[in-house]
Amino acid sequence: DADVTQTPRNRITKTGKRIMLECSQTKGHDRMYWYRQDPGLGLRLIYYSFDVKDINKGEISDGYSVSRQAQAKFSLSLESAIPNQTALYFCATSDFLASEQFFGPGTRLTVL
């Protein structure tokens, strides 16, 4: 079974809709991250969380919010989706040393 899972894997939505992407992990890591990937730009950090009560903005947090419901769950929300949020979204986890991040399979989001 995968250590980091993301749901849904694919989603098509319309401008203005609220969308939630979910991430679960069984690695027992405290740290969780949300990234978006755009062609030619690599991965950019949206939000990260070092534990349930610690949430921090990343490089590109505008237009996004997150919720850390439990150690194992970290959700990303788009309150009012816009077309330039069309991207591949990855969740990742790491232990407190942050020496390596473990990635989920990604969610491909299309906003029409």
Partner 1 sequence: AQSVTQLDSHVSVSEGTPVLLRCNYSSSYSPSLFWYVQHPNKGLQLLLKYTSAATLVKGINGFEAEFKKSETSFHLTKPSAHMSDAAEYFCVVSASLDMRFGAGTRLTVKP
In the complex, the residues that contact partner 1 under the rule CB under 8 A are 4, 35, 40-45, 90, 92, 98-106
CB of 6 to partner 1, least distance (A): 8
Peptide bond into 8 cis (omega under 30): yes
The residue among 82 and 98 lying less far from partner 1, judged by its C-beta, is 98
The residue among 104 and 111 lying less far from partner 1, judged by its C-beta, is 104
Q: Give me the amino acid identity at 15.
A: T
CB of 5 to partner 1, least distance (A): 10
CB 89 within 8 A of CB 106: yes
The residue among 40 and 70 lying less far from partner 1, judged by its C-beta, is 40
